[in-house]
Structure 1
Amino acid sequence: MTDQLAAGRPVVLRGGTVLPMDEQRSVLPDTDVLVVGDRIAEIGPGLAAPDGALEIDATGGIVMPGMIDTHRHMWQTAMRGYGADWTLTQYFVWYYLEHGKKFRPEDIYAGNLLSAIESIDAGVTTTVDWSHGLQTAQHADAAVDALEAVPGRFVLAYGNIQAGPWEWSASPEFRDFVERRMKRTDMLGFQMAFDVTGDPEFPEKAAFEVARELDVPVTTHAGVWGATNDDGIRLMHEHGFMTPRNIYVHAATLGDDSYQRIAATGGAVSVATESEQSCGQGYPPTWALRNHDIRVSISMDTSVWMSGDLFSAMRSTLGADRSREHLEAHAIGETVTNCHLRADQVVEWATRGGADALGMGDLVGTLEHGKKADVVLIKNDRSPAMFPLINPYGHVAMQAQRSDVHTVIVDGVVVKHEHELVGIDLPAARRTVEATVEYLQRELGEEAWRQGMHPEVPETKMLDNPYQYTEFRSSDTHRSRDAAETAG
Structure 2
Amino acid sequence: MTTSPAPQEGQPILFTGGIVVTLDDAHTVLRDADVLVIDGKIAAVGHAIEAPENAFVIDASGGIVMPGMIDTHRHMWQTAMRAYGADWTLSQYFVWYYLQHGAKFRPQDIWAGNTLSALDAIESGITTTVDWSHGLQSVEHGEAAHDALVTSPGRYVLGFGNIFAGPWEWAADPAYKRLVSAARDDSRLFGTQLAFDVTGDPAFPERTAFEVARELGIPVTTHAGVWGATNDDGIKLMYDNGFMDEKTVYVHAATLENDSYQRIAATGGSVSLSTESEQSAGQGYPPSHALREHGIPVSLSVDTSVWFSSDLFTAMRTTLGADRSWEHTKAHETGATITHSHLRAEHVLDWATRGGAKALGRDDVVGSVEVGKLADLVLVKNDASPAMFPILNAYGHLAMQTTRGDVHTVLVGGEVKKFEGQLVGVDLARARAAIDDTVDHLQETMGVDVWAGEMNPEIPATKVLDNPYMYTEYRSATTHDAFETEAPASIRE
Alignment-derived partner of residue 302 in structure 2: 300
Could you tell me how far 1:457 is from its partner in structure 2?
A: 3.9
Partners of 1:185 and 1:171 lie apart in 2 by 24
* Counterpart pick for 2:149 among 147, 150, 153: 147
**1:407 matched to 2:409:** yes
Partners of 1:457 and 1:175 lie apart in 2 by 35
* Counterpart pick for 2:196 among 194, 200, 216: 194
Amino acid at match of 1:299: S
Could you tell me how far 1:4 is from its partner in structure 2?
A: 4.3
**1:208 matched to 2:225:** no
Structure 2 counterpart SS, 1:403? helix
Partners of 2:311 and 2:6 lie apart in 1 by 28
- CA deviations on 1:332-391 (whole Å, 9 max, x unpaired) are 111010000000000000000000000000010011010011000000011110000000
Could you tell me how far 1:179 is from its partner in structure 2?
A: 3.5
Structure 2 counterpart SS, 1:155? strand
- CA deviations on 1:306-340 (whole Å, 9 max, x unpaired) are 01100000000000000000001111111010000
Alignment-derived partner of residue 370 in structure 1: 372
Amino acid at match of 1:209: E
Amino acid at match of 1:393: Y
Amino acid at match of 2:338: V
Partners of 2:94 and 2:173 lie apart in 1 by 25
Alignment-derived partner of residue 133 in structure 1: 135
Could you tell me how far 1:469 is from its partner in structure 2?
A: 1.2
Partners of 2:197 and 2:103 lie apart in 1 by 18
Alignment of 1:475-486 (within 5 A): 475-479=477-481
Alignment-derived partner of residue 256 in structure 1: 258
Alignment-derived partner of residue 452 in structure 1: 454
* Counterpart pick for 2:325 among 300, 323, 326: 323
Partners of 1:3 and 1:125 lie apart in 2 by 22
Bigger Cα displacement from structure 2, 315-324 vs 4-13: 4-13
State whether residues 152 and 187 of structure 1, in contact with CA within 8 Å, keep that contact through their aligned partners in structure 2. no
Q: Percent identity?
A: 62
Bigger Cα displacement from structure 2, 199-208 vs 170-179: 170-179
Partners of 2:48 and 2:440 lie apart in 1 by 54
Bigger Cα displacement from structure 2, 447-456 vs 351-360: 447-456
Structure 2 counterpart SS, 1:305? coil
Partners of 1:457 and 1:130 lie apart in 2 by 25
Structure 1 counterpart SS, 2:109? helix
Change (3 A) 1:480 1:263: closer
State how many pairs are aligned.
Answer: 486
Unaligned runs of 5+ in 2: none
Alignment-derived partner of residue 291 in structure 2: 289
Alignment-derived partner of residue 39 in structure 2: 37
Partners of 2:288 and 2:104 lie apart in 1 by 36
- TM-score normalised to structure 1 length: 0.97
* Counterpart pick for 1:473 among 472, 475, 487: 475
- CA deviations on 1:41-66 (whole Å, 9 max, x unpaired) are 00111111221111101000000000
Alignment of 1:334-373 (within 5 A): 334-373=336-375
Amino acid at match of 1:440: L
- CA deviations on 1:207-259 (whole Å, 9 max, x unpaired) are 10111111100000000000000000000000111000000000000000000
Partners of 1:3 and 1:169 lie apart in 2 by 47
- CA deviations on 1:274-316 (whole Å, 9 max, x unpaired) are 0000000000000000000000000010000001100000000
Partners of 2:167 and 2:252 lie apart in 1 by 20
Partners of 1:179 and 1:195 lie apart in 2 by 21
Alignment of 1:233-252 (within 5 A): 233-252=235-254
**1:389 matched to 2:391:** yes
Partners of 1:458 and 1:397 lie apart in 2 by 40
**1:419 matched to 2:426:** no
Structure 2 counterpart SS, 1:365? coil
Partners of 2:232 and 2:462 lie apart in 1 by 25
Amino acid at match of 1:42: A
Unaligned runs of 5+ in 1: none
Amino acid at match of 1:157: G
Partners of 2:323 and 2:100 lie apart in 1 by 35
Bigger Cα displacement from structure 2, 474-483 vs 389-398: 474-483
Could you tell me how far 1:151 is from its partner in structure 2?
A: 1.6
Structure 1 counterpart SS, 2:353? helix
Structure 2 counterpart SS, 1:474? coil
Partners of 1:42 and 1:100 lie apart in 2 by 47
Bigger Cα displacement from structure 2, 19-28 vs 415-424: 19-28
**1:103 matched to 2:93:** no
Partners of 1:93 and 1:21 lie apart in 2 by 41
Partners of 1:305 and 1:459 lie apart in 2 by 23
**1:75 matched to 2:48:** no
Structure 2 counterpart SS, 1:453? coil
- CA deviations on 1:173-199 (whole Å, 9 max, x unpaired) are 112212333315374310000000000
Could you tell me how far 1:461 is from its partner in structure 2?
A: 5.7
- TM-score normalised to structure 2 length: 0.96
**1:66 matched to 2:56:** no
Structure 2 counterpart SS, 1:225? coil
State whether residues 311 and 401 of structure 1, in contact with CA within 8 Å, keep that contact through their aligned partners in structure 2. yes
State whether residues 226 and 255 of structure 2, in contact with CA within 8 Å, keep that contact through their aligned partners in structure 1. yes
Partners of 1:208 and 1:114 lie apart in 2 by 31
Amino acid at match of 1:368: E
**1:333 matched to 2:335:** yes
- CA deviations on 1:76-133 (whole Å, 9 max, x unpaired) are 0000000000000000000111111100000000000000000000000000000000
Alignment-derived partner of residue 85 in structure 1: 87
Alignment-derived partner of residue 164 in structure 2: 162
Partners of 1:158 and 1:199 lie apart in 2 by 22
